[in-house]
Structure 1
Amino acid sequence: MDTKKLRQKILDLAIRGKLVPQDPSDEPASVLLERIKAEKERLIKEGKIKRSKKTAKTSDTPHYGNVPFEIPDNWEWTTINAISKSILYGVSESAKTNGKYRLLRITDIQNNSVQWDSVPYTDFDENKVKSYLLSEGDILFARTGATVGKSYLVQELAEEAIYASYLIRVQTYDAVLPQYVKFYFESGYYWEQIEQGSVGVGQPNVNGTILGNLHIPIPPMHEQYRIVSELLKWMGIIDVIELGKTDLQTIIKQAKSKILDLAIQGKLVAQDPSDEPASELLKRINPKAEITCDNAHYPKVWQKTILGDIFNHNTGKALNSSNKEGIMKDYLTTSNVYWNKFDFSVIKQMPYKESELDKCTVTKGDLLVCEGGDIGRAAIWNYDFDICIQNHIHRLRPKGELCVAFYYYILLYLKENNLIGGKGIGLLGLSSNALHKIDVPLPPIEEQYRIVQKIEELFSYFDNIQKTLEA
């Protein structure tokens, strides 16, 4: 598994506002930035910080034409300067075996961690040391050499420590989480800016001015917390993968679950403005279906609907040993239907009347869903021959143009998240009425196919990893 690429993909989703859902009740980031500006002016007046020297060409917010990618409406583009109380170079002091302060150097930072016991000491002017003492939440940035651009978030300090001159310290205002900024410092977009801004032929370096002018997307404060929480979870999972200390089956399941989550929110693939809106598609599929403007957290071109509005569905025939009238036909039970596959090792027969065949026959493209047993388990019938079903299986057949595989993955997502057949629901089976009323999204038809293609591409990636490890 290329965990480096996986980290970058997750970070990329995070800084674009696609990792966690937005909450319309969150205070917009624009208000947050105004508070920071007011706080900065207060500190300048009190003489606690100096006003930064900006050229006419620099700005806290990039011009629209320079915005590198779209972000949610309640986010804001700004700069590292705008969110920082201080961007300060370290001290040029010699390392010693003994001294009053630890002296943190670039070489002491390895893989986002510091072995403080091995960090040397130094002595420093007591009248100046306060400006350079490290605090939890400080972010240190390597400004030169092979590690230029690497960063470290100070999270614990056993002793007082200062930092060496090849490091720059960034201290953010309270309205911005240092952990969010640190994750941004690991993103692909950040590294693109570092590569563009680094100077020097022999030893590349990035000075404090370049660092301060880097553009950063800022979410609302509450969303920063949600993003950091989600990133910590995912980075922890990837760490475990790299260390090989957990069950890979669980990791793959979690990764697939997240892929489905993003897919169903409309965040797995980009929307295409040339696609016909789903509202028009729904009108063709079912003219009687409700067209709603309230699409919850779905993209604007999607529609919120129910399964019964876009699929015709029914169950098959109940087995009755006393009823022997009709033509003997092979039929499927719940023991034959598994997630997107079928077990043909035991196929039974029972008689079907001519009048029952239309209702009970499965043809290529039908979606089958278990009414009992493992409730909600589903598979698409992709065979060229027909077969019948019994009464514990629902047959779903599209009322119009749909990508059936998209709705298979929706059922898989609902099942894995205990939204159908979960504990405590109190259902002995998934009734036709319950199935009919399941809320589902309807994307444009072209996007349905793009989503399925991306899901299957990513799932194939994880399946191949699993097969390799099981071989």
Structure 2
Amino acid sequence: MSELIEKYEANPIAKVSLSDVTEHFKGKAVSKLGDTGNVSVVNLSDMTETDIDYDHLKKIDAEQDSVSRYLLEDGDVLIASKGTVKKVAVFHEQDRATIASANITVLRPTADISGTYIKLFLESELGQELLETTNTGKNVMNLNTKKIVSIQIPKLQPLKQAFLIQRYEQGLKDYKRKITRANQEWQHIRDDVAKNLF
């Protein structure tokens, strides 16, 4: 066990198991993904560092009954449970019915714990180490769902959660704006250089 986890476990702050504040389920095994269909599917590759790439989700045709128990809701936390990279994302409601693929564990907050707060904790250095303790895979990551929901997170007051989330989201917005601007400036320079090459 790492020093960071030992320190955290010895810390007397109030903690709560994810199993006590969320419902959880695995995504659905799907085949024949395409560009058309009535249900969108979030795959591991759609989970980016900061969000979910909703614009490029693949789709399937499915009866509503066959996917009803897998339908994602606003605020659900998606954890990549297989693959090579630990990823965590929060789902935001879409116009189309959306499910997660089988390589993803879904946590649905049931208490006064925000999905975004769970994501922020699991993405922290401590959260990443705690997720690593749930890994039962050898060469490829395989996070055990029972172990994931046994992870204890600090029981923060809703007001403090809201403050941290607001700070994070404002910072993310600024970060995205600066990246867009930097890309535009870089493109402008490349175009300018290209024009003057001959």
User: TM-score per shorter chain, which class?
Assistant: 0.7 to 0.9
Matched with 2:161 is 227
Taking the TM superposition and a 5 Å limit, the aligned residue runs for 1:331-370 are: none
Partners of 1:66 and 1:178 lie apart in 2 by 21
Q: How far does residue 166 in structure 1 lie from its aligned partner after superposition?
A: 0.3
Partners of 2:169 and 2:38 lie apart in 1 by 36
Contact 2:122 2:131 in 1 (8 A): no
Matched with 2:45 is 107
Q: 1:212 and 2:138 equivalent?
A: no
Taking the TM superposition and a 5 Å limit, the aligned residue runs for 1:256-405 are: none
CA gap of 1:189–1:128, structure 2 versus 1, over 3 A, is same
Gaps of 5+ in 2: 1-6, 180-198
Q: For this pair of structures, how many residues does the alignment match?
A: 173
Matched with 1:67 is 9
Matched with 1:183 is 120
Letter in structure 2 aligned against 1:89: K
Letter in structure 1 aligned against 2:97: E
Letter in structure 2 aligned against 1:126: Q
Letter in structure 1 aligned against 2:36: N
Letter in structure 2 aligned against 1:98: T
Q: How far does residue 117 in structure 1 lie from its aligned partner after superposition?
A: 2.4
Please, what is the CA RMSD of the aligned residues? 2.5
Contact 1:180 1:224 in 2 (8 A): no
Matched with 1:140 is 78
Matched with 2:17 is 79
Percentage of matched positions with identical amino acids: 17
Partners of 1:66 and 1:179 lie apart in 2 by 21
1:132-165 alpha-carbon deviations (Å, 9 max, x no partner)? 11110111110011123x1111123121111100
Secondary structure of residue in 1 paired with 2:127:
helix
Gaps of 5+ in 1: 1-64, 246-471
Partners of 1:236 and 1:66 lie apart in 2 by 28
Partners of 2:35 and 2:117 lie apart in 1 by 35
Secondary structure of residue in 2 paired with 1:237:
helix
Partners of 2:172 and 2:61 lie apart in 1 by 40
Letter in structure 2 aligned against 1:233: R
CA gap of 1:128–1:170, structure 2 versus 1, over 3 A, is same
Letter in structure 2 aligned against 1:165: A
Matched with 2:62 is 124
Partners of 2:107 and 2:175 lie apart in 1 by 31
Q: How far does residue 114 in structure 1 lie from its aligned partner after superposition?
A: 2.3
Secondary structure of residue in 1 paired with 2:143:
coil
Matched with 2:99 is 162
Secondary structure of residue in 2 paired with 1:93:
coil
Matched with 2:187 is none
TM-score relative to the length of structure 2: 0.77
Higher RCO (C-alpha under 8 Å, 6+ residues apart): 2
More helix by share: 2
Partners of 1:232 and 1:152 lie apart in 2 by 16
Q: Who wins on radius of gyration, i.e. which is larger? A: 1
